Amino acid sequence: MSAADPSSYFVNEVMTASPQRLRLMLIDGCLRYLHETKTHWEQNRFDLGGESIDRARAIVSELITSINREQLPEVTNRLVDLYTYLLKTLVEAGFTHEQKLIDDVIRVMLIERDTWRLVCETLAAQQMPAPHIPQSRPAAPIEMATDFSGGFSVEA
């Protein structure tokens, strides 16, 4: 894989992502597969639509199993219930090929994506270092700034 290889970029992105960013990436993937499913069904390619909806279901299953139910059990139980409903809806859609069911899941997943995008942005903002504010007095001359006699040791 070369440095310009898109797959190496994606692997690097996944390996360095926060848990919140990984969840957002899963949601984005699920949405992509749901849109693919609709496109395939519109073109009467139900076999390819079946593959896409299977991938979307696998992602929703992963979203369920990755929830830490010990933290905030009331909230996480509701979230598990929501994802379970989405999973059942996708199973039904797979049998009936009803695009309305896919649209219903997409609407919920768009809200989830917006929520997790906000979580990622908020956490990133909290981790950013404070902006550098210049001092109002001029900086010391270079000769003075290179004096390290205040106990600095290279051997430490």
Find the mean pLDDT for residues 56-84.
94
Sequence spans of domains, the chain: 18-122
Mean pLDDT of 64-73: 90
Contacts of 49 (CB under 8 A, 6+ apart): 36, 37, 38, 40, 41, 97
Nearest CA to 24 out of 125, 112, 123, 128 is that of: 112
Is residue 69 a contact partner of residue 80, using CB atoms and an 8 Å limit?
yes
The pLDDT assigned to 40 comes to 98
C-alpha 137: how far from its chain's center? Answer: 44
Long-range contacts of 119-128 (CB under 8 A, 24+ apart): 119/20, 119/24, 120/18, 120/20, 120/21, 120/24, 123/18, 123/20
CATH architecture group of domain 18-122: Up-down Bundle (1.20)
Flag whether pLDDT at 155 surpasses 50: no
Whole-angstrom distance, CA of residue 76 vs CA of residue 85: 14
